[in-house]
Amino acid sequence: MSETVLPGGADLDDLLSREAIDDPFAFYARLRETGPIYWNRRWNGWVVTGYHEVVEGFRNHTKLSSDRFAGPFGEELSAASSQYQQLFAFLSKFFVWKDQPYHTRIRSLVNKAFTPRSVESLRPRVRELVDDLVESVRGERDVDFLARFAFTLPIVVIAEYLGVPPEGRESVRAWSEDLGAVIFVRGNDTDRMRKGDEAMDHLVEFLRPVVAQRRCHPQDDLLSGLVQVVDSGDALSDDEVIANAILMVFAGHETTMNLLGNGMVAFDRFPDQWARLRDDPSLARTAADEVLRYDGPIRAMARWATEPLELGGQRIERGDRVLLVQHAANHDPAAFTEPDRLDIARWPNKHTTFGQGIHTCLGAPLARLEAEEAFHGLSQAFPRFTIHEKELHYVPTVVSRSLTQLHITFPGS
């Protein structure tokens, strides 16, 4: 297939171009002009940008596989997995990257511990943390928002929820950051893989005795819930508990950090919506969902075809790679009125940021809760704020939407 070029010479196949990374809404709009799905030569697979086609792709879990360790993705990882055995031994146990029956078994067990009720019980503590963080930045002229607020809130919440001992939380934060570079493909391949492998070693070594202790002496935390949960005689092994606890630590802070950073940028672009939230705090829930739609922390998720199928008028062959671009789907005018405008009262808001179908993000309720409380607390404390960067830049990765930095001035009392 020939390389697709947009009018004016813009390269449709370069998903890591400056335009695609720093100004994605215009880029995705031009992609959709060619149709809801197209073959991308650089990525060597199908890129899906239409809302209805992305939803269909997520829901077709029988023909579109999430397994990163089989098919074309498995072939790409085979060499690295032999060199970094500990890293891939535990990554391969992440249930989000597996298909049925493993995915269904692990998710059903984790669901019994990670319940909506248990997440909602965290709200008072999340609100307390938000209040403390708000006071810590009040009146400061140059706040590193990602480090001081957006990273701190979710890492403390997930660490406390899981039951990670306080003395190890700073180390867990650093290891999780190195692991994120592997998962979201940031930086030099050799360097990030080495650091990711070392981080996985440290995380497993740190968590194994904690899990053993919870089996003997359970506490009121998620780790205890994971080691105790039983379904029809089935239970999680120690390695499965450790692997999916690591997944929760990583996903629990990385995604929310990016959500909060992107949200502040969105509110800076639409100050009327910040004022609206300040005047009506009851809009915090729909505001969180609208930020998730408008500029969510996840750009795209990959699948591969286990058998031929039709999607968006194109025939996808067995073994083809398929990239479901949530960021583009969430700005499709076929699904959303004025999609490039932030509207914190938008409802219903059936965005695709958390996926669809059996692989819908398990941590969605926690991310929503944290964003809801953060935007509520910040808007009530600060009628205005100032972003320092004249130009915002994002980490060049297809998977996540991550600011490289964000410095904000928050007024005093």
pLDDT at residue 7 tops 50 = no
| 7-409, CATH topology level | Cytochrome p450 (1.10.630)
Q: Which two tokens stand for residue 293?
A: 């739609």
User: How confident is the model at residue 290, as a pLDDT?
Assistant: 99
pLDDT at residue 300 tops 90 = yes
Span 343-371, pLDDT tens digits:
999 999 999 999 999 999 999 999 999 99
Residue 233 burial (CB count, 10 A): 5
pLDDT at residue 94 tops 90 = yes
In this structure, are residues 256 and 367 in contact, taking their beta carbons and an 8 Å threshold? Answer: yes
In this structure, are residues 90 and 97 in contact, taking their beta carbons and an 8 Å threshold? Answer: no
- Split at pLDDT 50, 70, 90, the class of 169 is confident
Span 204-256, pLDDT tens digits:
999 999 999 999 999 999 999 999 998 778 999 999 999 999 999 888 888 99
Q: What is the largest CA-CA distance in the chain?
A: 66
In this structure, are residues 364 and 354 in contact, taking their beta carbons and an 8 Å threshold? Answer: yes
User: How confident is the model at residue 204, as a pLDDT?
Assistant: 96
In this structure, are residues 316 and 70 in contact, taking their beta carbons and an 8 Å threshold? Answer: no
In this structure, are residues 27 and 36 in contact, taking their beta carbons and an 8 Å threshold? Answer: no
Residue 353 burial (CB count, 10 A): 25
> What percent of the chain is predicted at pLDDT more than 90?
77
Q: Which residue has the tokens 């074309």?
A: 72
Q: Which two tokens stand for residue 216?
A: 């003997």
Q: Kindly list the domain boundaries of the chain, sorted by start residue.
A: 7-409
d(CA 373, CA 291): 13
Span 22-43, pLDDT tens digits:
989 999 998 888 899 999 999 9
- Alpha-carbon torsion (62, 64, 67, 69), positive or negative: positive
User: How confident is the model at residue 2, as a pLDDT?
Assistant: 42
Q: Please report the beta strands in 150-293, taking only residues with DSSP state E, as ranges in sequence order.
A: 230-231, 234-235
Span 108-142, pLDDT tens digits:
999 888 888 999 999 999 999 999 999 999 999 99
The model carries a pTM of: 0.94
- Give Cα 65 distance to the centre of its chain: 19
Q: Which long-range contacts (CB under 8 A, 24 or more apart) does 69-73 make?
A: 69/97, 69/98, 70/304, 71/304, 71/306, 71/319, 72/45, 72/304, 72/319, 72/320, 72/321, 73/302, 73/304, 73/321
Per-residue burial over 304-315, b if 16 or more Cβ lie within 10 Å, else e, is bbbeebebbebe
Span 63-85, pLDDT tens digits:
999 998 888 988 877 777 778 88
Closest CA to 110 of 227, 250, 246: 227
Average pLDDT of every residue of the chain? 92
d(CA 328, CA 184): 18
358: exposed, middle or buried (C-beta count within 10 Å: 0-12, 13-18, 19+)? middle
